[in-house]
Amino acid sequence: MHEHAVPSQPHPDDLARVTEVFKALSEPIRVQLVLLLTGSERSVTQLVEALDQPQSTVSRHLALLRSADLVKTRREGTSVHYCLADSHVARLVQEAFSHAQHERLGLSDHPAARPVPGGVH
């Protein structure tokens, strides 16, 4: 298994892109936005309500996610609906949570990705 590997000297564009994505996901509110958009699109209003944060704050973070091409928008009348740009981000975030969960549950090293439905409480 694992015949594939990124060389320790990666393509500069890839390195830049990777860090851009990680930076975009380095704030709790933005990770939460990604989670909320995983599986279903949502309007800004819905996101503001879900996060209970000022509208300008949510909008600003959405703008950042959009400038990183992690989310797309669709206008519908006066409201704007956001959704994930592709499955990449969701997958990445999913995996990160899987790891965090394992750590929290005291598991040493995970043998195979195996998150729990509902997220283990």
The token pair at 26 is 């380095």
H-helix segments, the chain: 12-24, 28-37, 44-51, 55-67, 87-104
Binding window for DNA (CB under 7 A); candidates: 33-41, 59-67, 89-97, 104-112: 59-67
Residues touching DNA, count (CB under 7 A): 26
- Give the phi and the psi of residue 60 in degrees, each rounded to 5: -65, -45
Interaction site with its own copies (CB under 8 A): 3-11, 13-19, 21-23, 25-28, 31-32, 35-36, 38-39, 50, 86-88, 91-104, 108-110, 114-121
* Residue 61 binding DNA, by CB under 7 A: yes
Residues 24-53 that bind DNA (CB under 7 A): 26-27, 29, 43-45, 48, 53
When the beta carbons of 77 and 111 are compared against DNA, the nearer one is: 77
The token pair at 70 is 């992690």
φ/ψ region of 2 (left if φ > 0, alpha if ψ in -120 to 50, else beta) reads: left
| 26/33 Cα distance (integer angstroms) | 12
Chain residues binding DNA by CB under 7 A are 23, 26-27, 29, 43-45, 48, 53-57, 59-64, 73, 75, 77-81
